[in-house]
Structure 1
Amino acid sequence: MEERSEARSYDSPRRLAQANRTRAEIADAARRLFVSQGWAATTVRDVAREAGVSVPTVYAAYQNKTGLVWALADAADLSADPPRMLAELDREPAPARQLAAMAAYDRRLFERAGDLILLVREAGRTEPDLDGVYRQARREADGIRRQVFSSWPGGVLRQGLDIPGAVDSYAALCNIDVYTTLTVERAWTPDRVEQWWGEALSRELLTRPDSP
């Protein structure tokens, strides 16, 4: 009995590692299909076939399609950690440099997980929980920008522009749709998008766009 118990204990890490690999393979398969076929057109059976597992295995690992998207969004960290983001921006006190750092963060996010952001938004049209994920991420991003702009001394924002207007202008320029249009339709490199964002934000928001 003791030997069998030790064998089970020895095998359990191996089984756990295999289970984690299976979950990762299912998630990778789901991401590929969601991006290529779209949320609505992809079924759990499609995901199982793509991952090379049974349908019950997919349900056991993620419950349903919504669970899969939740897991993908969590793994990609679609919403910034506000305290960490603000701490990083504190090291760039000049407003123009803060705007450039914020644009660089958005570029990295969209480059890494733009397909998932679009997926969450699409799925949110029929899944209220996922709609909440997308909206919450947008609210958190707006909150970071509001805090940054509120920390600037008077006279930094260009004349006639208040903080809510600055937040709106930032959101209109730096978003996944603009990034996709420029990189996919216009063949811009991510570096070029980031540079243009930084320059455009300075022109649109700051009294002295060229301030260091």
Structure 2
Amino acid sequence: MTVPVKPKRGYRSLRRSAQASDTRAAVLSAAHDLFIREGWQKTTIAAIARQAGVSAETIYAGFGSKLALLEAVVVASVRGLQPGTALMDQAGPRAVMEAPDQRSQIALFAKDIAEVLRRVAPLMAVVRAAAESEPALKELYVGLHRGRTGNLAMLVDAMLRHGPLRTDRDTAIASLDRLSSPELFLVVTNVEGLSPAQYATWLADALTALLLR
């Protein structure tokens, strides 16, 4: 008598995990498009669910709320092609931290941050606009900027390991924070018409002049 072979539990778990990952990616993609096109107020969970091809219940189960979903979309945009890897652990920022001198660090940073801002700046504009009338969105907006500042402090500390800067540490962090902000990136690209690559060149020149002796 032949005993039926049951599917291995590990295979089923992997399949479920892959399906969950695909569903999450579809929801994030739909939410990204709708938040940018419609803004915070007009974007609904129902609309996101329709575009993603899932139920609203699935979105609530996976993210909890529209606010949490927006935050997840911003984080995913920051991380780009490596959604499971924190930004500072990715190859671009690691190369900046490990570069052999301050000029190389600035050049690599400017190129890398321009690509990050190309992805995330439009979403930060959505958060900023909503933050003007909703306290929870203001808290998210401030928190996202606080996270940026923390990452930039790590860069300044890496630069200081190669020698002193033209300014003190806090001023250097503030200069990086302002010049590489999503808000300024949008002015430079959307209003002035520079490309992200041109912005990166300008940023590298500005930071070199401000920070290096």
Give TM-score, length-normalised by structure 1. Answer: 0.75
Q: CA RMSD in A?
A: 3.2
Match of residue 157, structure 2, among 147, 150, 158: 147
> C-alpha separation between the residues in 1 aligned to 2:18 and 2:169?
49
Between stretches 48-57 and 27-36, larger displacement belongs to: 48-57
Does 2:108 align with 1:101? yes
> C-alpha separation between the residues in 2 aligned to 1:83 and 1:39?
29
Equivalent residue number for residue 60 of structure 1: 61
> C-alpha separation between the residues in 1 aligned to 2:175 and 2:150?
16
Equivalent residue number for residue 174 of structure 1: 180
Query: Which amino acid is the alignment partner of residue 64 of structure 1?
Result: S
> C-alpha separation between the residues in 1 aligned to 2:7 and 2:163?
67
> Percent identity between the aligned chains?
26
Give the conservation status (yes or no) of the 8 Å contact 1:120–1:131.
Answer: yes
Does 2:206 align with 1:200? yes
Q: How big is the shift at 1:121?
A: 4.6
Give the conservation status (yes or no) of the 8 Å contact 1:86–1:144.
Answer: no
> C-alpha separation between the residues in 2 aligned to 1:206 and 1:136?
25
Does 2:44 align with 1:43? yes
Structure 1 residues 45, 88: CA separation in 2 closer, same or farther (over 3 Å shift)? same
What stretches of structure 1 of length at least 5 have no aligned partner?
208-212
The number of equivalent residue pairs is 201
> C-alpha separation between the residues in 1 aligned to 2:54 and 2:6?
29
Instruction: Name which one, 1 or 2, has greater alpha-carbon Rg.
Output: 1
What stretches of structure 2 of length at least 5 have no aligned partner?
80-85
Query: Which amino acid is the alignment partner of residue 67 of structure 2?
Result: T
Between stretches 194-203 and 60-69, larger displacement belongs to: 60-69
Deviations 1:87-143 (A, max 9, x none): 523543332222112212211211233333444555665326634640332231232
Query: Which of structures 1 and 2 has the larger relative contact order (alpha carbons within 8 angstroms, sep 6+)?
Result: 1
Structure 1 residues 83, 58: CA separation in 2 closer, same or farther (over 3 Å shift)? closer
